[in-house]
């Protein structure tokens, strides 16, 4: 009986002040239920790619969690930079899922269901991305105390936006940094050396960068409250 009372007390505390992790886990379960129902209802694997995209968004989130739990490993300069570069390569996968809304009218299910399905996955990716950026921001601030936090987070958000464009329109993946670095580098150079010809790319990057930057302080504030 005492055990049940303690369990109900913990549940009530979670319900009164849900932490972002609790919201994230519940949202992931909701997304998986939606995509499972869609595959069952349509007999199609069309939206199974959302699960893969969410896994890619989870990689930087898992990496920063590992880095925070292993501060001794991060004291070594080489380990730190390797983890940071890998994280920077994968972090655009977090907001990338938003662009799956381009497929909203592909058919198979009512549009409203497709909207909730894609938005739920996009929410999970965004939330994991923001939580990961906040974790990396704190580690960066502890390592480079003279750098203001915004000088780290906002460039990362705009680089992530550029990464989303590269993934969605140029059709590169994170592992193409290793798999096909020559072609990727050539296309990136073209973006920077011919900005007017690639004005749509920069317009997309700026708009998404502003959008992500406006939302980040709200999540950052909530994360600070959860730590208290």
User: What's the pLDDT tens digit per position in 36-56?
Assistant: 999 999 988 888 999 999 999
Q: What is the pLDDT of residue 227?
A: 54
Amino acid 2: pLDDT: 59
138 neighbors 224 (Cβ within 8 angstroms): no
Percent of the chain as helix, strand, coil, to the nearest 5? 85, 0, 15
Its pTM stands at 0.87
Mean per-residue pLDDT over the chain, rounded: 88
Lowest mean pLDDT, pick from 49-58, 61-70, 117-126, 173-182:
173-182
pLDDT of residue 17: 47
- Interhelix angle 199-227/20-42, rounded to 10 degrees, is 130
CA-CA distance, 40 to 79, in Å (whole number)? 44
């Amino acid at each position: 009986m005492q055990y049940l009372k303690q369990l109900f007390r913990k549940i009530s505390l979670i319900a009164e002040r849900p932490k972002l992790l609790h919201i994230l886990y519940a949202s992931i379960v909701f997304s998986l239920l939606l995509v499972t129902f869609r595959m069952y209802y349509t007999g199609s694997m069309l939206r199974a790619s959302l699960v893969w995209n969410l896994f890619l968004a989870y990689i930087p989130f898992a990496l920063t969690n590992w880095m925070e739990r292993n501060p001794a490993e991060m004291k070594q300069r080489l380990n730190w930079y390797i983890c940071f570069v890998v994280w920077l390569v994968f972090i655009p996968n977090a907001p990338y899922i938003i662009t799956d809304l381009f497929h909203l009218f592909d058919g198979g299910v009512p549009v409203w269901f497709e909207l909730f399905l894609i938005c739920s996955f996009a929410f999970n990716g965004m939330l994991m991305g923001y939580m990961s950026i906040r974790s990396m921001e704190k580690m960066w601030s502890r390592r480079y105390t003279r750098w203001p936090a915004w000088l780290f987070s906002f460039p990362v958000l705009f680089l992530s936006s550029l990464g989303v464009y590269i993934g969605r329109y140029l059709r590169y993946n994170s592992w193409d940094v290793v798999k096909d670095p020559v072609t990727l580098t050539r296309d990136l150079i073209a973006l920077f050396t011919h900005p007017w010809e690639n004005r749509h790319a920069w317009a997309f990057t700026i708009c998404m960068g502003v959008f992500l930057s406006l939302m980040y302080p709200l999540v950052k504030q909530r994360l600070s409250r959860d730590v208290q």
